[in-house]
Amino acid sequence: MRSKFSYFCTTLTEKKRDMKILVCVSAVPDTTTKITFTENNTKFNSSGVQFIINPYDELALTRALELTEQQGGEVHIITVGDASVEPIMRKALAIGAASAIRVDAQANDGMEVAMEIAAYAGDKGYDLIMAGRESIDFNGGQVGPILSELLGYALVNIATKVDIENGRVLATRDIDGGREKVSCTMPCVVTAQKDLCEPRIPNMRGIMQARTKPLQVIPATVSSGSTAYASFELPEAKGAVKLIDAAEAGKLIDLLREEKKLI
């Protein structure tokens, strides 16, 4: 009986093992930024713009930290960019990541970013690689799915819930018109959607510690991407709004029928 009981205890403890999680973060203009372009509409005008951690990446980071707090383990962050992204990396360290890696490259597209991250992460034995569902600047939604393909890992894309149970990933993801519950083994790539968790505000202790946490810079390995942003443009300005008196609100329906042929 005793041996059976101790066997039962070991399997229980074995199921809880330290996790190694890599979170991909990118720097994006703050969500309230008024977007403008320079150099004949070929470059984003970054003057006076506040850069933040991409909000979806921040959710991925927070959930990664929660998972390592439950399961044990460590969260590392990786970003692809020049030295100007280091302030947001320090912020990620202040939120709780243990160390940071910056691939020193100006990537052209999501494919290039993902290839750089895959080249770094391939032999590091991460259980989970997490990222935001998309960046709020280029809205590509490419890095997570490409990483899963390049590394041959399972993928849970646009996840609103992620848990680890008995060494497996249990997650919920958005699908058209609903949600799907899925389960998969690790290693796995998970991309974060709103609802995954509440973002964390770094505390003073975290901010102090972040200054001395390791931030490693590694050289780029990918030559160049296969796409290039040729030009940018702002949407055409809308004409003046046509106001309808609230007392005759029903007229709106007639205007939509007659002027726009919509109803």
Partner 1 sequence: MVLVFAEREGNSFKKSAYEAVSYGRDLAESLGTTCVAAVIGRVENAGQLGRYGAHAVVEHTGAGTDVFEPAVYTAALDEIAKSQNCDVVVLSGSYTGKILAPKLAARNKAALVTGVVELPDMSSGFTVRKSCYSNKAFTTVQLNAPNKVLSIIPNSYSIKEFPGEATLTQLSTDLSGSSMTQSLEIDKQAGKVPLTEAEVVVSGGRGLKGPENWGMIEEMAELLGAATACSKPVSDMEWRPHSEHVGQTGITIKPNLYIAIGISGAIQHLAGVGGSKVICVINTDPEAPFFKAADYGIVGDAFDVVPKLINRLKEINA
Residues 51, 135, 62: CA angle, nearest 5 degrees: 80
**60, 189 Cβ separation under 8 angstroms:** no
Q: Applying CB under 8 A, which of residues 119, 136, 215, 218 lies at the interface with partner 1?
A: 136
To partner 1, the closest distance from the beta carbon of 108 in angstroms equals 10
Q: Residue 17 or residue 257: which is nearer to partner 1 going by CB?
A: 257
Cα–Cα distance for residue pair 128/22, rounded to 1 Å: 6
To partner 1, the closest distance from the beta carbon of 130 in angstroms equals 16
In the region spanning residues 159 to 178, those forming contacts with partner 1, defined by CB under 8 A, are 160, 173-178
To partner 1, the closest distance from the beta carbon of 72 in angstroms equals 24
**Size, binding site for partner 1 by CB under 8 A:** 75
**21, 128 Cβ separation under 8 angstroms:** yes
Q: Residue 6 or residue 139: which is nearer to partner 1 going by CB?
A: 139
Tokens 């998309």 belong to which residue?
A: 134
Return the beta strands (E) in 54-167 as ranges. Answer: 73-80, 99-104, 128-132, 154-165
In the region spanning residues 13 to 42, those forming contacts with partner 1, defined by CB under 8 A, are 29, 31-32, 35, 37
Cα–Cα distance for residue pair 60/211, rounded to 1 Å: 22
To partner 1, the closest distance from the beta carbon of 125 in angstroms equals 18
Cα–Cα distance for residue pair 190/166, rounded to 1 Å: 18
In the region spanning residues 60 to 119, those forming contacts with partner 1, defined by CB under 8 A, are 109-111, 114
In the region spanning residues 196 to 225, those forming contacts with partner 1, defined by CB under 8 A, are none
